[in-house]
Amino acid sequence: MSTLAAWFRLARAGWVMVREGVVAALPGDQFEGPPRAAWRIANLLARPRSRSRERTQSIAQAVERLGPSYVKLGQFLATRPDVVGAELARDLAALQDRMATFPTQEAARTIEESLGRPLGALFHEFGEPVAAASIAQVHPARTERAGTEAKVAVKVIRPGVRTRFNQDLEAYFLAARLQERFVPSSRRLKPVEVTKLLAQTTRIEMDLRLEAAAISEMGENVADDPGFRVPWIDWERTGRDVVTMEWIDGAKLSDMGAVRAAGHDPVALSATLMQSFLRHALRDGFFHADMHPGNLMVEADGTLVAVDFGITGRLGKKERRFLAEILYGFITRDYRRVAEVHFEAGYVPRTHDVRAFAQAIRAIGEPIHGQSADTISMARLLTLLFEVTEIFDMQARTELLMLQKTMVVVEGVCRSLDPRFNMWKVAEPVVGDWIRGNLGPRGMLDDARDGVSAVLSLARQAPDLAARTERLSREIDAMAEKGLRFDAQTAEAIGRAEARHGRWGRVALWVIAIALLIMAFD
């Protein structure tokens, strides 16, 4: 029945997208064959008022009808321009994660169930919600910290959101499997794997203890950084469904009037923001992946404070070195080295010619050197780079795409603060220091130390590896001698499963047909 329900939910989502004009807003004149015919039908079925809307508005209207889990889907796909295309990714990035609030009584009940204590024993005061998103809402409160009263922000999970997301997730997986089966060109993008990543990231976001842990980790990383910090966490009042953190008083970067009225220097803030982000990515390998202006606040002394750590990104040492060498290669116009880095990292298959790849890289790099430094966009450079690598069969790298998406947002915020923002001048102190420390003699010593540690670890595992190898060798010999066979019970079970799959497939097609007929009269 779960498969049948997934078909129903997928059919409903498709119908809503058609009626709200999302499908009609796609560039159908570029389609051929059945997709073009389907696009024309979608134009006929779209609501008349949807035809006058921009595609961004149509997507927002459709998502509002479909519910909070589709908000998260849209926001997630906005980080994957390789999957949905750069233009649609920009439209999805404009989705506002603002939802209606739920009653304070429900929030209080959720807190008490999660923490096992009455609300009055946890907080001296507990106010009405001040903000609500698809997964949670925030309440102001007061409690005791280190013997003094402190104002805190209490983030509470939305009731029923996990159940709803898990139900919609079945439809997402169904759509991904259908895409892989019927659109061969999309298999390189691994739609099912992308959906698994969506499931993983959203489930992490729905466990507020993990968001608290992300804030705590970054707090330790940035403890000595100038001009940037994150809120402290009240672990005593934090659980799976609730996180309590420091209340931040300040101006949001999304409200430039308030920022200027408070006397802050926008140019200095832009430099602090970019350098902080690059430190997190290169030095720590852990960064806030949703740094839009609404998630950044400026305190009275000019300190930037990041909030809402529902989405974070990580880069391993290999990815950080890859990023730094690419940036350094473009700066020095060493395009052959940029190409070699891709091959050394295993991102581009060895079947391609490194010289041809270097030529493609040159086509990106040379136009940059004809521009003034304050017009060169690092985010744009990375976007062009990933577009070129598609030609050379570079597999989608989720962590690098997340970095690129976040850099687009951060650089956009910096340029809104300082129209003459010089990306390279601001980035050099951080990127240059990282390169000198990790690609020079000190970096070679660190690599040697890591290599010795890996060898020692392998030596400790040698007896176990030898035993496993011997056991595998015996099993292969037995298989070669006797062959691989199914017993009668296994063969019968496979037959029953195939028959059941066929029956349900036919039933599902009839159900979809009936559902569409019903929807046609809504």
Q: Which residues contact 252 (CB under 8 A, 6 or more apart)?
A: 258, 293, 294, 296, 297, 298
pTM equals: 0.74
Q: Please tell me the predicted confidence (pLDDT) of residue 5.
A: 82
Q: Is 80 exposed, middle or buried (0-12, 13-18, 19+ CB in 10 A)?
A: buried
234 as an active site residue: the answer is no
Cβ atoms of 66 and 42 closer than 8 Å = no
Q: Rounded distance, CA 501 to CA 506, Å?
A: 9
Cβ atoms of 299 and 248 closer than 8 Å = yes
Q: Supply 152's token pair.
A: 């805190």
State which residues of the chain have pLDDT below 50: 1, 442-445, 447-448, 451-452, 454, 508, 511, 516-518, 520-521
Q: Region of 401 please: left (phi>0), alpha (psi -120 to 50) or beta.
A: alpha
DSSP string for 158-211: PTTHHHHHHHHHHHHHHHHHHHHHH-GGGGGG-HHHHHHHHHHHHHHHT-HHHH
b/e for 345-363, b at 16 or more Cβ within 10 A?
bebbeeebebeebbebbee
Q: Rounded distance, CA 108 to CA 163, Å?
A: 20
Q: Which amino acid is at 486?
A: F
Q: Three-class SS of residue 251? A: strand
**463-466 — which CB contacts under 8 Å span 24+ positions?**
none
Chain-centroid distance of CA 308 in Å reads: 14
Q: Supply 84's token pair.
A: 């949905």
Q: Which residues contact 316 (CB under 8 A, 6 or more apart)?
A: 285, 399
Of the candidates 307, 212, 245, 243, which has an alpha carbon nearest to the alpha carbon of residue 110? 243
DSSP string for 342-367: HHHTT-S-TTS-HHHHHHHHHHHHHH
Q: Rounded distance, CA 236 to CA 81, Å?
A: 40
Query: 378-393, pLDDT tens digit by residue?
Result: 767 777 777 777 677 7
Q: Is 296 exposed, middle or buried (0-12, 13-18, 19+ CB in 10 A)?
A: buried
Q: Please tell me the predicted confidence (pLDDT) of residue 48.
A: 79
Cβ atoms of 184 and 221 closer than 8 Å = no
Report the chain's C-alpha Rg in angstroms: 26
Q: Which residues contact 64 (CB under 8 A, 6 or more apart)?
A: none
Give me the catalytic one of 91, 168, 290, 308.
290
Q: Please tell me the predicted confidence (pLDDT) of residue 200.
A: 81
Q: Which residues contact 272 (CB under 8 A, 6 or more apart)?
A: 226, 227, 228, 304
Cβ atoms of 71 and 97 closer than 8 Å = yes
